[in-house]
A = this chain, B = another copy of it.
Amino acid sequence: LHRIKASGLKLRFCTNETQATRENFVKKLQGMGFDISVAEVTAPAPAACRILKERSLRPHLLVHNDLVPEFAEIDKANPNCVVIGDAAENFTYANLNEAFRVLIGMEKPVLISLGRGRYYKETDGLKLDVGAYMKALEYACDVQAEVVGKPAEKFFESALAEMGVPAQQAIMIGDDIVNDVGGAQRCGMRAVQVRTGKYRPCDENHPHVKPDAYVNNLAEAVDVILQQL
């Protein structure tokens, strides 16, 4: 990251993290030695807040407790939509029924989902991600959720707008073949897959998504990008 910043290239961190505010997300990465600040992060919750404000929507939140501060400035009285994130322990039977009742009580239900992930791994095992609960509410209410976060085009577009860089001049570096690589390419960006984290060898045979390049780690991605400047 130091080398990219020193080169004068513009940089943006695009995350689907919805279990923590950007502040806490950044603190965690800083603690791991990353040169990152809150202003450099594009995340689903602030993107959702922009949509809520633009359309005068008052959300009922079904999100992780640690994410709630991101919605501090949003009017939540008398809700006219539901925002669902990876609520983890907050995905209780009672909370799901409550979110459902808000939606089914609306003439045209509005469901905004902070991502569409199927599952993820934690130290104590695999967990259902927000996408699974989104599907449950979509089916029960016969509605299609609006997904905020990768791989939604709008999400990448807002990251590009924040940098002031056209898609053709931007490169996405990510470990997720669908959400990172596929999403960025659909926006007209090039995308590099790193063979770390979520990467699995079978990704290289993905039926729809083909990265513009592979690298073994982030440092190698930086090498490749700086060499081609």
Contacts and interface: CB of A to CB of B under 8 A. Distances in A.
Given A97-B126, A125-B97, A126-B100, A133 B136 contact: yes
Contact of A93 (B88, B119, B125, B131): B88
A135 interface: yes
A19 to B, nearest CB: 13
Interface in A108-156: 118-119, 125-129, 131-133, 135-142
A213 to B, nearest CB: 28
A104 interface: yes
A128 B88 contact: no
A25 interface: no
A43 to B, nearest CB: 23
User: How many copies of the shown chain assemble into the complex?
Assistant: 2
Q: For chain A, what secondary structure do more than half of its interface residues adopt (helix, strand, loop), or is it mixed?
A: helix
Contacts of A131: 139-140
Given A91-B96, A93-B91, A119-B104, A132 B136 contact: yes
A132 B137 contact: yes
A93 B137 CA distance: 15
A89 interface: yes
A100 B136 CA distance: 14
Interface string A21-37: 00000000000000000
A158 interface: no
Nearest to A119: B140
A101 interface: yes
Which 10 A-B pairs have CB atoms at the shortest separation, nearest pair first?
Answer: A132-B136, A135-B139, A136-B136, A132-B140, A91-B93, A135-B135, A118-B140, A119-B140, A100-B128, A128-B140
